[in-house]
Structure 1
């Protein structure tokens, strides 16, 4: 597996899955109890074109209910598949297969949806040098899972939370009194953490570049302002360390290529994880045709 696709720690995946299974099963699957508990096969079918993501969560759902279940994956994580593709074939007990079905599909549908949306944005900016990033606008409780799916779709992760990078935004700058003052306070308090500074004007950009940070985020800049920001940042880089530029706000698939071609380094898109459209998957009992 590509190192960038390494899933979260197994305990994190299991925590997600236990929480979801508890929600669905409660005191027990009263409908599955009507079935004879016999050996059975099932196939996981993708009913539309998609990018695959979510295998660790799918596997954990089934293995928590039946440790002996065999799951034969026919595709890899991050692979684009056509409609009608059999993603996996399972061999297990009939009751556990149907009890795990919905929870396992919920994870796969959501994470495939995130990966597929990300792949579309990545394809749109290919060749420009810009990197597509996610944000913290994730489904509650599924942040690590969705950020994994973004990587499966070819994107990269922004900060994971409020603890692994300092990100100075409008309110922080207002309280500090200026961009430079906010940067100085952040460097003094957390010198080892990456420092990202959001700016709303070209003057704030110049101040951030002069004070020094690890990345500048251009928040809702119009096209002309964005291009001027790139020119200013490149000019500043000629005399010292280059500071990458990130664009955020009002980014859609139709306009993302133009943003990338302006020369920015990163484009962060909340819609990758916030506006999730689940991929149509189903699990059918019986051997694959």
Structure 2
């Protein structure tokens, strides 16, 4: 990067930022460099093409340098930015929220037709999002169906505050409620849809995850216990008491866990309605109905 006290053009900063991340061995240096430079400098892709000689202020250059150092050290680019796009929504992140990823959009895709059908039939659809984190799943469904309302649960006060803030920013706070609960322990009432992206990594596999995940995503949002299935057992055994008649439970899972998760839910009296793969073709989502 050019010294912060020397005038730096937008084009020069983009080149230097990309080169810095190439040297650091970042997986997608061009994209990450562009995201950081654009966000911090307040520019866009059009500016880089139409006005490459624009001089960037010294304080912005210094901030870009600091962000590049963090990215080169392994911190995920969206953690540095403080937000991530999910299902077309701008969601703020915090230290105790899992970074929502494209794979989880498969869960939203699986549930949205059900939510719309329930809302069309009865005038509303009540959703329970267990382990809501940023509120990603619930808020994506609310943004797509105006007759839906959602409760997001988490054991982290920080996550609940982040989810509530995201709901306010998106204009959805009148239909979203954040509740502190250890899974369904603090929940009353019944819902048409119960959804969750629970922790499903085996405890002994946490150390093998990419540094971007194991060092920056909250451990309790990753660690699914000795076999990675603890949360599914809790959700399966507790959900039936909180489902409306004809309601569904939908969960994200690891790519090798399909049959184990099905077995857990079948033992609790559920039957599989749908099984969906993510964009990479991996098993990712199961939707259940109580028999």
Task: Give the TM-score, by structure 2 length.
Answer: 0.28
Task: Give the TM-score, by structure 1 length.
Answer: 0.28
